[in-house]
């Protein structure tokens, strides 16, 4: 090829390189069973979270700020943590998000205090993008799927193929199943049992509670499933084994003048991982998902069956309440997710038992 021809090729290719859009942020997971930092068995993988100028390696390294540098080869990532869970001293990530493979992050992590000090990192973009820490491998990780609760799925159903099966429980099923990334179906039953069912319809494990389960579970990005039961308890279970991580007992009805303390309002999660869980004892709880510590309680005039819709950017949640008469108090609320304070409320005659939905036009 002559020099003039080579120059023409370069000039032709240059605009294409310049026009290539920068790689987008997202959640990138390591291979199943491959942990770069965390000394845990669940979740089976770790997640690198890129969000603007913040980065985390979950579950070990919380969010820190970093400055992504974009080049022709891709986005160069360099971040430093003063320490991470279980690791003292600095942790440094040096990685590249290739311009031609934006769904990949590859590089190394250096750890000063423990061996091996240098560890290879390779993580691929999770198939589903959520704005709260739901399981990014799951096509349907909670009731109504997303924090907006629009109930929309990117999956197109097929009328052919598949693996048809039935699974018999001891009594009726009154809740919506949630589905893991591997196809496991998680659902509770009126027989007081919560089931994990394999894609072929065989049971993987089951967990007995003290009462009917008529609310949906939630799958988070740390390998846990959270379920509420009519026994007044919220359970955090290891999703692989079904073993309990912790159990939270709601306040007795006498504390709030209620009649029962039944969890039947499903489970929501905020941008920072806080769980928001309504109970029939007139309280909605904000719980730390690692410890089950109560961050706040929000009291209403009646039972709450309405699952809160979450706005993680604004740090707010929106929910209804079963209160039938406006003269007795409000039954629709906007709540500060951090403090539990009411931002606004309104009253109608008639129960607001349905879940809230957050539209893109900021309408609830």
- pTM of structure: 0.85
178-346: CATH architecture: 7 Propeller (2.130)
Residues 243-295 pLDDT 10s: 999 999 999 999 999 999 999 889 999 999 999 999 999 999 999 999 999 99
> Which residues have a Cβ under 8 Å from the Cβ of 15 and sit 6 or more positions away?
none
Question: What is the pLDDT at residue 172?
Answer: 96
**Whether pLDDT at 16 is above 70:** no
pLDDT at 164 over 90: no
- Backbone CA torsion sign across 20, 21, 22, 28: negative
Per-residue confidence band for 10, with pLDDT thresholds at 50, 70 and 90? very low
Average pLDDT (11-30) is 69
Please tell me the distance from the alpha carbon of residue 186 to that of residue 180, in angstroms, as a whole number: 8
pLDDT at position 41 = 59
Which own/partner contact pairs does 92-96 have at CB distance under 8 Å and 24+ positions apart? 93/48, 93/55, 93/57, 93/121, 95/48, 95/121
Kindly write down the DSSP assignment for every residue of 123-137, as one continuous string. EEE-SS--SSSB-TT
Residue 205: phi and psi, rounded to 5, are -160, 165
Does residue 234 or residue 27 have the better pLDDT? Answer: 234
The residues spanned by each domain of the chain are 20-125, 178-346
Residues 6+ apart with CB under 8 A from 33: 44, 45
Q: Which residues contact 362 (CB under 8 A, 6 or more apart)?
A: none
Spatial distance between the Cα atoms of 334 and 304, rounded to a whole number of angstroms:
14
Compute the distance between CA of residue 201 and CA of residue 8 in angstroms, rounded to an integer.
61
- Judge whether residue 15 has pLDDT over 80: no
Counting other chains too, the contacts that 259-265 makes at CB distance below 8 Å and 24 or more residues apart are: 260/232, 261/232, 262/211, 262/230, 262/232, 263/215, 263/228, 263/229, 263/230, 263/232, 263/233, 263/234, 264/214, 264/215, 264/228, 264/230, 264/305, 265/215, 265/228, 265/304, 265/305, 265/306, 265/307
């Amino acid at each position: 090829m002559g020099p003039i021809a080579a120059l023409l090729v370069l000039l032709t290719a240059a605009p294409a390189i310049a026009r290539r859009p920068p790689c987008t942020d997202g959640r990138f997971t390591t291979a199943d069973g491959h942990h770069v930092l965390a000394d845990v068995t669940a979740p089976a993988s770790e997640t690198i979270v890129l969000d603007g100028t913040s980065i985390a390696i979950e579950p070990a390294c919380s969010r820190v700020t970093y400055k992504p540098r974009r080049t022709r080869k891709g986005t160069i990532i360099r971040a430093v943590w003063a320490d991470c869970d279980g690791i003292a001293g600095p942790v440094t990530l040096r990685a590249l998000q290739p311009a031609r493979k934006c769904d990949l992050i590859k590089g190394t992590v250096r750890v000063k205090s423990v061996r091996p000090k240098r560890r290879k990192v390779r993580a691929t973009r999770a198939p589903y993008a959520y704005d709260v820490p739901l399981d990014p491998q799951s096509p349907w990780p909670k009731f109504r799927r997303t924090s907006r609760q629009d109930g929309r799925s990117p999956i197109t159903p097929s009328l052919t193929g598949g693996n048809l099966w039935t699974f018999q429980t001891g009594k009726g099923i009154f809740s919506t199943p949630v589905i893991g990334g591997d196809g496991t179906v998680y659902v509770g039953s009126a027989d007081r049992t919560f089931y994990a069912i394999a894609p072929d319809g065989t049971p993987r494990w089951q967990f007995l509670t003290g009462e009917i389960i008529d609310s949906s579970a939630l799958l988070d990005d740390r390998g846990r499933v959270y379920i509420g039961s009519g026994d007044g308890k919220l359970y955090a279970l290891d999703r692989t084994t079904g073993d309990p991580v912790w159990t939270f007992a709601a306040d007795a009805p006498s504390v709030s003048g209620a009649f029962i303390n039944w969890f039947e309002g499903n489970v929501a999660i905020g941008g920072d991982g806080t769980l928001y869980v309504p109970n029939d004892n007139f309280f909605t709880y904000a719980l730390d998902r690692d410890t089950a510590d109560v961050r706040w309680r929000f009291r209403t005039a009646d039972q709450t069956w309405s699952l809160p819709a979450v706005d993680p950017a604004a740090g707010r949640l929106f929910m209804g309440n079963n209160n039938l008469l406006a003269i007795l108090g409000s039954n629709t609320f906007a709540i500060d997710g951090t403090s539990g304070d009411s931002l606004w409320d309104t009253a109608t005659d008639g129960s607001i038992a349905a879940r809230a939905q957050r539209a893109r036009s900021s309408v609830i």
